[in-house]
């Protein structure tokens, strides 16, 4: 399925785990479109953010079931990507955060 490049990356992930990965292994995280694959994520990061990508790992995250009293609902399923940048590359948006 063809997805527009601007729709592949939904938002960056800023968590403690990803901050540790960024400092240790130069890996950044993104919430990505559920139908996106590794090639599309790599092309989107390299084109839109102008950095070189070494590898991409994708993970499907299932939404949790939440309850409020006797009513139960479910959070949406989503997909995240761990993008390892090549040595010497860094993203400016993470440096200011």
Residue 95 forms part of a structural domain: no
Written as six digits, the tokens of 93 are 């948006």
Candidates 61, 52, 55; CA nearest to 80 is: 61
Domain that holds residue 51: 5-90
Number of domains making up the chain: 1
CATH of the domain at 34: 3.30.70.330
Whole-angstrom Cα distance, residue 84 to residue 88? 11
Query: 17-32 burial by CB neighbour count: b if 16+ within 10 A, else e?
Result: ebeebbeeebbbbbeb
Residue 81 forms part of a structural domain: yes
Residue 37 forms part of a structural domain: yes
Residue 17 forms part of a structural domain: yes
Backbone angles phi, psi at 93, to 5 degrees: -65, -30
> pLDDT tens, position by position, for the chain (97 residues)?
788 989 999 999 999 999 999 999 999 999 999 999 999 999 999 999 999 999 999 999 999 999 999 999 999 999 999 999 999 988 877 666 5
């Amino acid at each position: 399925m063809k997805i527009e490049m601007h729709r592949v990356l939904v938002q960056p992930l800023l968590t403690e785990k990803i901050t540790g990965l960024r400092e240790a292994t130069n890996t950044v995280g993104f919430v990505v479109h559920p139908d996106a694959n590794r090639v599309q994520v790599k092309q989107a990061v390299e084109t839109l953010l102008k950095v070189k990508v070494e590898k991409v790992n994708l993970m499907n995250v299932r939404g949790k079931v939440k309850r409020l009293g006797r009513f139960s609902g479910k959070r949406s399923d989503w997909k995240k990507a761990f993008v390892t940048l090549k040595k010497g590359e860094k993203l400016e948006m993470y440096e200011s955060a």
